[in-house]
Amino acid sequence: MSALEPFSETPAEGAADAAEPIQPDPALSEAAVPDPALSEAGLPEPTLPEPVRQRVMALAAAALPALPVDEVPVVLRKVARFAPNRRARLGGQAIAAQLTSDPLFRQRIGRRIADDSGDLGSAVAAGMVPAAADPVEVAAIAYLCRPDGWRDLVADAGEAVRAEVDSAAVVEQINEAEQRAARAEHDRAVAKVEADKLRDELARVREELGQLREEHRVTARSLREALAQQKRAGDLLATEKGRAAKAVADHDAELRRLRARLADAESLAATGKAAAKEARSADDARVWLLLETIGQAASGLRRELAVGPSDKLPADYVADVAAERPGTPERSQARAQDTDDPARLDQLLALPRAHLIVDGYNVTKRGFAEMSLEQQRKRLITGLGGIAAQTGDEVTVVFDGAERVHGLPPAPRNVRVLFSKKGETADELIRRLARAEPDGRPVVVVSSDREVADGVRRHGAYPMGADSLLRRLSRG
């Protein structure tokens, strides 16, 4: 290692008051040629221990501003203006180079440091070392002041530093050994505690194992007893199953016998029902034939006598001759029952096997024309279903086919809904229906159309006005 190496120091980057460390310039040094009186027969610079080197740099940097300006080398004048905390850090390399190459500068710095160090500096400059002095401080001052035997002082400081380092290492090793011993002692104590816990746990486990073994013996004995009880219960269950199977077999046999008897009874009952039905059918046929004979005879008698429903009652004739009615005498009197009287309609529908034929749109447009055609049809058909249910009569309602729609709801019981075919009107279909009925059957045609009324009257039907049916429907 060269003499400059102990003084090498890297300046910190980004310093505010110095951009780069100051480099020494041998051409500008005041002591470019060393003083022979200050040289030591060309002996090389000693290698300073690191603590001594750092202390030399700190002392030189602190003493640099105290020198007169003309005694400060040019390369260090800028460094002398640095802040104290930055002088050794940023200008250390230049200071170290100047101390190595300029003995005069080093002598001035050493003299200044000796004066600033007081008694210690004076003693070191005189070649004496106090017994209690710091070897690093002594070596740094001796290096700068260069008294007789300064190399020995630097060497002694190095030995002291190394001894201190070795002593510190030994102390550290001793501390580590003591720490390891303490940790080992702690581990032994912990292990002893854990061993005690394990022994206690082992004792507890052994006690629990004994209890478990005892419980196992008790449980095994209980299990054997339960298995024995289960075997006895199984034998008893097998016996009961045999008895139950025999009882079920007897029950099934009895059930089959009862079912056979029930089948015979049902067969006899069916035979009796068939015989009774046949007898009742014969009686119904005889009654129907008798009623038909009476009805045909009554219809023939009505046609023979040409008697129709009278517009007047006997009391009306008496009233016309022997009494006066309220109102104007010249005015024709109202008939007791006319074609729009619902009471007369009820009388006609009360006749046996009556057939009610209704001119659909003639009635709906007269009674509820404000509704749509679909709603008119639905309301009329619903009302006719109520009449058919009350009287038991056959009901047929006829609409013009030109306005027929699909998807009509199903007609009520005993109500027939018809639409005339293309090219035929509902009036013609109504006359055809009246003409198709046998003589003597009561046929009631509801229509306010005079032509329809006259046409059906010629075929023996009873014409009634639409208002009679509307009033009958409103009455419910």
Euclidean distance between CA atoms 388 and 390, whole angstroms? 5
| pLDDT of 334 | 38
Q: What is the mean pLDDT of residues 74-85?
A: 79
Query: Burial level of 113, CB count in 10 A (0-12/13-18/19+)?
Result: buried
Q: Give 455-467 pLDDT, tens digit per residue.
A: 899 888 999 999 9
Of 402, 398, 407, 403, give the one whose Cα is nearest residue 422: 402
Q: What is the pLDDT of residue 19?
A: 36
Which of the two residues, 148 and 459, has the higher pLDDT score? Answer: 459
pLDDT of residue 164: 73
Q: Is the pLDDT of residue 326 over 70?
A: no
Tokens of 2: 């060269």
Per-residue pLDDT tens over the stretch 57-74: 888 888 778 788 888 888
Say how many CA atoms lie within 13 Å of 20 toward its Cβ: 4
Q: Which residues contact 374 (CB under 8 A, 6 or more apart)?
A: 405
CB 76 within 8 A of CB 28: no
Q: Indicate if the pLDDT at residue 1 is higher than 50.
A: no
Mean pLDDT for the chain? 78
Using alpha carbons, select from 473, 405, 407, 461 the residue that is nearest to residue 433.
Answer: 461
What whole-number distance in Å separates Cα of residue 252 and Cα of residue 334?
A: 82
Residue-level pLDDT at 303 = 58
Segment among 10-19, 141-150, 167-176, 405-414 with least mean pLDDT: 10-19
319 — pLDDT class (breaks 50, 70, 90): very low
pTM (2 decimals)?
Answer: 0.35
Helix axes 426-436, 450-457, angle to 10 degrees: 20
Q: For position 209, what pLDDT does the model report?
A: 92
List the structure tokens of 46: 């000693």
State the Cα–Cα distance between residues 438 and 288, nearest whole angstrom.
16
**Tens-digit pLDDT profile for residues 266-297:** 888 888 888 888 777 777 776 676 676 676 66
Is residue 176's pLDDT more than 80?
yes
Q: Which domains does the chain have, with CATH numbers?
A: 5-148 (no CATH), 340-475 (3.40.50)
- Provide φ and ψ at 424, rounded to 5°: -130, 140
Which residues, other chains included, contact 15 with Cβ-Cβ below 8 Å and sequence gap of 6+? 86, 89, 90
pLDDT reading at 414 higher than 70: yes
CB atoms within 10 A of CB 205: 12
pLDDT of residue 305: 65
- Arithmetic mean of pLDDT, 128-137: 77
Interior/surface letters 424-442, b for 16+ CB within 10 angstroms, e for the rest: eebbebbbebbeebeebbb
Q: What is the pLDDT of residue 293?
A: 63
Q: Residue 322's pLDDT is what?
A: 44
User: Would you say residue 425 has pLDDT above 70?
Assistant: yes
pLDDT in tens, 213-227: 999 999 999 999 999
* Phi–psi pair at 459, nearest 5 degrees: -100, 15
Instruction: Decide which of 93 and 10 is more confident.
Output: 93
What pLDDT shows up at residue 407?
Answer: 63
The three state secondary structure string of the chain is CCCCHHHCCCCCCCCCCCCCCCCCCHHHCCCCCCCCCCCCCCCCCCCCCHHHHHHHHHHHHHHHHHCCHHHCCHHHHHHHCCCHHHHHHHHHHHHHHHHHHCHHHHHHHHHHHHHHCCHHHHHHHCCCCCCCCCHHHHHHHHHHHCCCCHHHHHHHHHHHHHHHHHHHHHHHHHHHHHHHHHHHHHHHHHHHHHHHHHHHHHHHHHHHHHHHHHHHHHHHHHHHHHHHHHHHHHHHHHHHHHHHHHHHHHHHHHHHHHHHHHHHHHHHHHHHHHHHHHHHHHHHHHHHHHHHHHHHHHHHHHHHHCCCCCCCCHHHHHHHHHCCCCCCCCCCCCCCCCCCCHHHHHHHHCCCCCEEEEEHHHHHHHHCCCCCHHHHHHHHHHHHHHHHHHHCCEEEEEECHHHCCCCCCCCCCCEEEEECCCCCCHHHHHHHHHHHCCCCCCEEEECCCHHHHHHHHCCCCEEECHHHHHHHHHHC
Separation of alpha carbons 59 and 67, rounded Å = 13
Residue 314's pLDDT band, with cuts at 50, 70 and 90, is low
The answer to whether 160 touches 154, Cβ cutoff 8 Å, is no
User: Which range has the worst mean pLDDT, 17-21, 245-249, 291-295?
Assistant: 17-21
Can you tell me the mean pLDDT for 8-28?
38
pLDDT tens by residue, 356-403: 999 999 999 999 989 988 888 899 999 999 999 999 899 999 998 866
